Amino acid sequence: MLQKLGFWAVVAFLVAYIGVLSGAMFYFQFGLGEFPCPLCITQRMGMMLSSLGAVYILVQALRGSLDSAKFMTGLGFAVLGALIGASMSIRQILLHIMPGDPGYGGAVLGLHLYSWALVSFVVVLVFVGLLLMFAKEFMPVAPVAKWARTLTWVIIWVFVFTVAANMVVVFAEEGFNWYLPDNPTSYQLFG
């Protein structure tokens, strides 16, 4: 029972980051016209790296080849991505910590996206810590039901699409330049 819960917990982790990445790109970037700065993009990369750990675990579980070493490898990816992303979030928070600084971009429930990103990275670190503490009990076992396996593969492919879309958007924003401006205001590829 706990192993099935472990599987669906990793699926929920992946779905959560798909939602965060899609919301940042489709709602804030395209809907509100807020261009991500270089630090925002590196935070997205941290989220993607963390999520790759979840994808690795899910794929191995679906193939029936997940063992403790592969489980720990996937969790290691998640920790590494969370640490990289958290350091970028902290850097951006420190850039805007002075009183009167409006911050970069819009706010959600009073916090800017980079602050929420730090919260998400801390949640990932706690989640992975709990999975490591109880690795034997929560070692993911893929469901047998065809609908559940299909749903998991669909979620994995939605993640792949989300990563690809983010890559295209970053390329459009940066163009053929060596670096991205600190406060981008347009897509460099088209301007």
pLDDT tens per residue across span 110-134? 778 888 899 999 999 999 999 989 8
Give CA angle at 51 (145, 104), nearest 5°: 140
- pTM score: 0.85
**pLDDT over threshold 80, residue 189:** no
CA proximity to 128, closest of 143, 116, 142, 138: 138
In contact, 127 and 14? CB cutoff 8 Å: no
d(CA 120, CA 43): 11
**pLDDT over threshold 80, residue 9:** yes
